[in-house]
């Protein structure tokens, strides 16, 4: 399979292309063979080409016009590959519905990593996800309760998944090199059936972390009394970063329906 190399990265799309072969191998081998997968933002294809050697079917979502056209050309010669040309924030849900992937991989655009992760965390995949971030974002996602970096994304990804840091990468692993280190997160299904809806949890977490320095009782003072917090086993004087996923679910279920 031939793909021209490489194209200049676009700052507007937050592009930094991975070229470290050891990292590419680790990312791809985190996924089993012969599965259906989606890759977000293939760019010039360092991960894509390795994935095509491993998976059964691969759908790539690419916003960049030139890269999308290139992969559409490759797809004409390789029936393993399909291409969605568009903004991942707008096309992800429909693409997942059509492709029914077991796995999702991607070197996520830095400028979209927060909202895109919130959208990805809503998906219940049978396999999992291998996702690359700025190291600081990866640390927030992987953080546990009590950590200063623990936040809304830390809670949301645990709705369906266990979280593991797979590897950390220096700027030189990319072209052009970003100004920060990067890290790869592995999300694998924990197998527990969520007892609240994801949208309900997301709304609760967004409100709860809106003012990190305030107590949880203050952040929900219009909806829940201190006595109601105590009734569900939560100390109302706790701050948002002190609450585990299960406690956030308890709050979501206790809130009056709007």
Whether 105 shows a pLDDT value over 80: the answer reads yes
| Per-residue pLDDT tens digits for 35-54 | 999 999 999 999 999 999 99
Both 84 and 167 in one domain: the answer is yes
> Does residue 206 form part of some domain?
yes
Q: For the domain that residue 215 is a member of, what is the CATH number?
A: 1.10.8.100
34 is in which domain, residue-wise? Answer: 11-189
Rounded distance between C-alpha atoms, residue 72 and residue 78, angstroms: 10
Whether 1 shows a pLDDT value over 70: the answer reads no
Both 110 and 143 in one domain: the answer is yes
- 3-state percent helix, strand, coil for the chain, nearest multiple of 5: 45, 20, 40
> How confident is the model at residue 173, as a pLDDT?
92
Both 138 and 224 in one domain: the answer is no
Q: Alpha helices of the chain — where are they, by DSSP H? A: 21-29, 46-54, 65-77, 88-99, 113-120, 135-142, 152-156, 198-208, 216-219, 226-231, 245-254
Whether 4 shows a pLDDT value over 60: the answer reads no
> Does residue 47 form part of some domain?
yes
Answer with the one of 161, 189, 217 that is the final residue of a domain: 189
Residue 8 — pLDDT band, cuts 50, 70, 90? low
> Does residue 1 form part of some domain?
no
Both 167 and 218 in one domain: the answer is no
Rounded distance between C-alpha atoms, residue 124 and residue 233, angstroms: 28
> Does residue 3 form part of some domain?
no
Cα-based torsion angle of the residue sequence 197, 201, 207, 209 in order, rounded to the nearest 10 degrees: -170
| Per-residue pLDDT tens digits for 227-252 | 999 999 999 999 999 999 999 999 99
Q: For the domain that residue 93 is a member of, what is the CATH number?
A: 3.40.50.150
Whether 133 shows a pLDDT value over 50: the answer reads yes
| Per-residue pLDDT tens digits for 60-77 | 999 999 999 999 999 999
Least confident of 4-13, 111-120, 206-215: 4-13
Rounded distance between C-alpha atoms, residue 45 and residue 83, angstroms: 13
Q: Is the pTM of this model over 0.75?
A: yes
Both 88 and 160 in one domain: the answer is yes
Answer with the one of 141, 164, 189 that is the final residue of a domain: 189
What's the whole-number mean pLDDT along residues 9-33? Answer: 80
Residue 109 — pLDDT band, cuts 50, 70, 90? confident
Answer with the one of 189, 211, 230 that is the final residue of a domain: 189
Both 213 and 175 in one domain: the answer is no
Rounded distance between C-alpha atoms, residue 142 and residue 247, angstroms: 17
Whether 13 shows a pLDDT value over 70: the answer reads no
> How confident is the model at residue 15, as a pLDDT?
57
Domain count, the chain: 2
Let me know: does 193 contact 170? Beta carbons within 8 Å.
no
Query: Which residue has better confidence, 130 or 175?
Result: 130
Residue 111 — pLDDT band, cuts 50, 70, 90? confident
Both 96 and 212 in one domain: the answer is no
Both 216 and 170 in one domain: the answer is no
> Does residue 136 form part of some domain?
yes
> Does residue 246 form part of some domain?
yes
Residue 110 — pLDDT band, cuts 50, 70, 90? confident
DSSP secondary structure string for all residues of 239-254: -GGG--HHHHHHHHHH
Let me know: does 40 contact 112? Beta carbons within 8 Å.
no
Let me know: does 95 contact 70? Beta carbons within 8 Å.
no
Rounded to 10°, the helix 46-54/21-29 angle is 40
Rounded distance between C-alpha atoms, residue 46 and residue 149, angstroms: 31
| Per-residue pLDDT tens digits for 178-220 | 889 999 999 999 999 999 999 999 999 999 999 989 999 999 9
What is the chain's Cα-based Rg? Answer: 20
Q: Is 130 exposed, middle or buried (0-12, 13-18, 19+ CB in 10 A)?
A: buried
| Percent of the chain clearing pLDDT 90 (strictly above) | 86
* CA 49 remoteness from chain centre: 21
Whether 2 shows a pLDDT value over 50: the answer reads no
Both 115 and 223 in one domain: the answer is no
> Does residue 249 form part of some domain?
yes
């Amino acid at each position: 399979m031939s793909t021209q190399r490489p194209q200049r990265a676009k700052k507007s799309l937050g592009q930094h292309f991975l070229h470290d072969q050891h990292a590419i191998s680790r990312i791809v081998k985190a996924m089993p063979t012969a599965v259906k997968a989606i890759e977000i933002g293939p760019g010039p294809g360092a991960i894509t080409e390795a994935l095509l050697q491993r998976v059964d079917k691969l759908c790539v979502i690419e916003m960049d016009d030139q890269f999308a056209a290139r992969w559409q050309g490759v797809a004409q010669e390789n029936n393993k590959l399909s291409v969605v040309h568009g903004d991942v924030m707008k096309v992800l849900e429909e693409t997942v519905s059509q492709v029914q992937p077991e796995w999702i991989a991607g070197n996520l655009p830095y400028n979209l990593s927060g909202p895109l992760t919130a959208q990805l965390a809503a998906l219940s995949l049978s396999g999992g996800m291998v996702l690359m971030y700025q190291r600081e974002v990866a640390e927030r996602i992987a953080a546990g309760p009590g950590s200063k970096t623990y936040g809304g994304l830390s809670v949301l990804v645990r709705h369906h998944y266990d979280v593991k840091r797979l590897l950390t990468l220096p700027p030189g692993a990319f072209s052009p090199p970003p100004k920060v280190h990067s890290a790869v997160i592995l999300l694998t299904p924990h197998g527990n059936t969520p007892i609240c809806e994801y949208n309900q949890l997301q709304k609760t977490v967004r409100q709860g972390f809106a003012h990190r320095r305030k107590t949880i009782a203050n952040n929900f003072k219009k909806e829940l009394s201190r006595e109601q917090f105590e009734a569900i086993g939560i100390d109302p004087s706790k701050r948002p970063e002190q609450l585990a996923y299960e406690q956030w679910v308890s709050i979501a279920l206790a809130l009056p329906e709007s």
